[in-house]
Structure 1
Amino acid sequence: MINEKEHQNSKAKDMKLFFGKIVLYVILMFFVLEGATRLLHLNSEYPWFIINDHNIKTYAPNQTGYYTIGNRRMNFAQYHINKSGFNSYRDFNPTKDKEEVALLGDSFIEGLHQDYFNSIGEKVENALDNGTEVYEYGHSGYDLADVLYLMHTYEKKFELIDHIIIYLKFDNDLLRDTYAPDKYWVDSQYFLFSRIQRKSKFISYLKDIGFFEPVREMKTKMLSYVFPTEEAIKSSGDSASVENEKAKLYLENFKTLISKYPIDKTKTVFLLDKTKTDPLFLKYCDAQGYKYIDFSQEIENSKRPTTLVFDRHWNNNGRSIIARKIVEYLRTVEKPK
């Protein structure tokens, strides 16, 4: 009986030792992978963003780092957040004496996918080679409401800027007709999993390569059964009719935003892809005197890829094409008086 108890105790100790070794090996393996991820810069590093004193979502000023995406460090670009909270190689100090250009838009203008010193704005400046300064007001997730509110808030500064170019994606940037800062997106930086990602580069890397996607997709599917989305409800309808209604809604949103935050037509132009913009909107712009730069043909005719392999954002070639279109436009217009 005693021998049997001793045998059971011995087995229990062996099991504890076995599981203890497993836990130890897992911890050691985690630290090895964490160290390798940090050493090779495989994880994403994203600048902190805030809602500033003017109720505008920007990055926290004066940050530098490397934005990394792709599961084998496919993209590794240096960013520099200036005093105004935007990724740029220069600060924004417009004056009456200089000629300045403002580029506004979402992540395509923000340019975290490319070194900040090789941005669209830098390419434009180098091509013009006449002392013109380009200010890049780009931030991931910006839509037209964000852009127009920013221009309205910094009205005095934009009065000094000579040319204003707004990147506009018709299907993304006109979903609302009023401005409100995305506080949830800012608060999400402080969620538990987000804080863990900030501390552990390996966990951040796992998220970047889609390791947790099955869990997220399962959660989304479960929620969709309980709370069907508006898109899912509308999907059974006629697609052409739905698209037509969307176009009308987006145009009305545009009109509402412009009425709230008027723009100077003499120095403001939209940068867009006509093939992805509803004719209804283009017709309205033509009738009302809103100018736009269409880059669709140049992108389509390029013999080299214009987007990243793993992402729809413009690569260096795509950015060079956009910069050339902007330069072509700037060379045809005079500096406003």
Structure 2
Amino acid sequence: MKFKNVAATGAVLVTVAIALSACSSSSTTGSSTTAAPSTTAAAEATSAPLDASLTGTITAGGSSAQANAETAWITAYNAQVKGVTVNYDKSQGSGGGITNWLAGSYDFAGSDSPLKADQQTSAQTLCGTGGGLNLPVYLDGVAIIYKLDGVTKLNLSTETLAKIFSLAITTWNDPAIAADNPGVTLPSTAITTVARSDGSGTTQNFTNFLSASAPTVWTAPASNTWPITGNVSSQKGGSGVVQAVGAGSGTIGYADHSAIGDATAATINKVEFSQDAATAAFAAGATTVPTATGDLSQKFDYSKLTGTDVYPIPLVSYQIVCSTYKDAKQAELTKSFIGFVASTTGQKVAAKNAGSAPIPDEMLTKVLASLATVK
């Protein structure tokens, strides 16, 4: 199965018309524009009107999964707020993003996993007693990509996937893989797994899934650092994994689906990734588990992610902000940008350009409510 993702190639398709779609029938006061209420718009999550007079710079970074969405969000946001520069460094990965944010280098961090308990404690030094807020703004899935000569369609069950990545299965013609793919001729090629070398929320999500869904096979811990050593090719960033899989033979790896470009992706339990399947996974299995007042950390119950229309390895990514900023100006700029990201319009921009699934409006409304408490 081939994914064609134009955003992954760096082409941003967002247009001013799309960016301003929430304001197409609007009333204007000063430099701010807000959509006039309608039956359709009433159900949408709308942020505070964007203040086009804002100026300044937002510095952020982290999740490489968010990279294509960030590019599109920044472009769309700057179509309305031209005086604010938003710099997002995707090279850090989720782990580096959180580390730099805790050090005070970033105004917000992008992360595919929420703050851990010790990180939330550390955040109180930066953000006051309220700590940090994990705000879910990006919904996608972990894609399993491979390169195997002569095999253009591949299905992997959860248990087989766990055996491959734990190195219990070492050749492509293993009986377990054959059982998942009746009628497919599989070569005896050795399997090389490709994993992230950096601290990665994508790794955290993937190992969360393996640990919860195949605990008798996957006995390694769920972690944001890859826990298996041996015949593993370690690569920095999702793009590094995708490049290594594509350059190899008999390779298999994992990455956020928006990053995989033209790579061939396996179906998991016969389910192909789609935006609808990711949305169905969020609806079926996501629960809010807050770590602080206003926090919206999500936890998946993978036992509920079954059926042919539910993607079994969803990925929710966050923008992590302070509950209280030391610099009121940076708080204002950050709230403005993330308010756009967490609006229905912002989610449509990401869906069009990164292929992500929009966060449900009910959750976006909660995100905007939490963002409104930031000082």
TM-score, normalisation: structure 1: 0.25
More helix by share: 1
Q: Which has the higher contact order (CA 8 A, sep 6+)?
A: 2
TM-score, normalisation: structure 2: 0.23
Larger Rg: 1
